[in-house]
A and B are shown apart, each in its own frame.
Chain A
Amino acid sequence: MSEMSLSRDRFLALAEAYGGDIARWPEPEREAARALLLQDPQGLGHHLEAAAALDRLLDLAPAGAVDAALLGRLVSTAPRPAASARRWIAGLGAALGLGVSAMAGVTVGVVLAGHDREDLSADALIAATVDGGDSADSLEEPAAS
């Protein structure tokens, strides 16, 4: 691929338009621009540095910070899973709930089989049925006392 040549005037026009960093100039002209800069590093370098000074000032123009409230509003309005997916998730949740309840019921039955009903308080029975995971503890305590 032959190297593209670049005139001094074009070099200066590019610096004036795109600033002092050749890496930010149009890609097809960068290589030729670097080659030209090597031929006159002081003269062209001076123009580049002047353009870079303006670049540095431009970088100081406030950009604004993302506010948590704005972020919250955007998150709350973003798309949600499709209705079918939500139903599936809800169904899974209900199934898990039923499973936990069933487990609690089985636990109550097993424990009741090993203990005298009159030793159990009504509160322990309710806690065992509702809380599921804590059912064994709830039942064991009154039985042990």
Chain B
Amino acid sequence: MTSQGSDPDEALLADVGRGDPRAVRQLLDRRLPRILALARRMLNDSGEAEDVAQETFLRAWKQARSWQPGAARFDTWLHRVALNLCRDRLRRRRDVVMAEPPEQADPGPRPDAGVLGREVSHRVEAALAALPARQREAIVLCHHQGLGNIEAAALMQVSVEALEGLLGRGRRALKAALADLTRDAG
């Protein structure tokens, strides 16, 4: 969970830089779903998530020819770019939210609570979206993206201890918001 190791994308990225269309497709197959998922869970908006994923890879294409191996893993670099784009969008949302508050999904239990599938998925999504941005970021990076604590802390520019604090507070809030569901899931 904590080791960075060698970069599994290094050779593929070199081929992308040389314009190999098969490498482009392979890299997208490998990394695009991860970046899209990161943006989707950070922004709670599929359209904006697509925009972020697209912008992230457009920047990656520019980097591909001049990529310096050893500086950072490509996956980490992608996460950093995507996270910054998400943060920009969240900041812009905060700037306009005072004028016209957007409709938000109700994170509380519904009369038909207990229905599985999409209903539960929406509840979880809404609870995640209701978290403070830094707590959500910590949970998405560590739980959903599967990053190690050192890597996630570095991306968030906090200490590992601070990351654990964010994770703990975030998960406690989620547990409270989804208490009826965690009992079912347990």
Residues of A whose CB lies within 8 Å of any CB of B are 13, 16-19, 24-28, 49-51, 53-58, 60-64, 66-67, 70-71, 73-75, 77-82, 85
Q: Can you pick out 26 interface pairs between chain A and chain B where the beta carbons lie within 8 Å of each other?
A: A13-B168, A16-B167, A24-B142, A25-B1, A26-B149, A27-B2, A53-B185, A55-B143, A56-B185, A58-B144, A61-B41, A61-B121, A61-B124, A62-B40, A62-B125, A63-B36, A63-B144, A64-B40, A66-B36, A67-B50, A74-B28, A75-B25, A75-B28, A78-B24, A80-B19, A81-B19
Contact A54–B171 (Cβ < 8 Å) = yes
Stretch at the interface among B51-59, B73-81, B88-96, B107-115: B51-59
Contact A54 B178 (CB under 8 A): yes
Q: Is B120 an interface residue (CB 8 A)?
A: yes
Q: Which of A28, A58, A79 contacts B65 (CB 8 A)?
A: A79
Identify the B interface with A (CB < 8 A).
1-3, 16-21, 24-25, 28, 32-33, 36-37, 39-41, 46, 49-50, 53-54, 57-58, 61, 64-65, 120-121, 124-125, 128, 139, 142-144, 146, 148-149, 160, 163-164, 167-168, 171-172, 174-175, 178, 181-182, 185-186
Q: Is the interface of A mostly helix, strand, loop or mixed?
A: helix
A65 to chain B, nearest CB (A): 8
Report chain A residues within 8 Å CB of B24.
74-75, 78-79
Cα distance A51–B120 when bound, in Å? 17
Nearest Cβ on chain A to B47's Cβ, whole angstroms: 10
Q: Which residues of chain A come closer than 8 Å to B143, judged between CB atoms?
A: 19, 55, 58
The smallest C-beta distance from B169 to any residue of chain A, in angstroms, reads: 9
Q: Check A77–B33 contact: CB distance below 8 A.
A: no
Chain B residues within 8 Å of A74, by CB: 24, 28, 32, 54, 57-58
Is there contact, CB below 8 Å, between B164 and A17? yes
Residue contact A53 to B182, C-beta cutoff 8 Å: yes
Q: How far is the CB of B128 from chain A (nearest CB, A)?
A: 5
A25 to chain B minimum Cβ distance, whole angstroms, is: 7
Which chain A residues border B64 with CB–CB below 8 Å? 79
| Contact of B16 (CB < 8 Å), options: A25, A60, A67, A78 | A78
B residues near A77, Cβ cutoff 8 Å: 57-58, 61
Is B186 a contact partner of A53 (Cβ separation < 8 A)?
Answer: yes
The answer to whether B49 touches A58, judged by C-beta atoms less than 8 angstroms apart, is: no
Q: Give the chain B neighbours of A19 by CB distance below 8 A.
A: 143, 171
Contact B124 A58 (CB under 8 A): yes
In the complex, chain B residues whose CB is within 8 Å of the CB of A80 = 19
Chain A residues positioned under 8 Å from B39 (CB to CB): 64
| Interchain CA distance A24-B144 in the complex, whole Å | 11
Determine which of A62, A64, A85 lies in contact with B19 in the assembled complex, contact meaning CB atoms within 8 Å: A85
Indicate which residue in A13, A17, A26, A63 contacts B2 across the interface (CB closer than 8 Å): A26
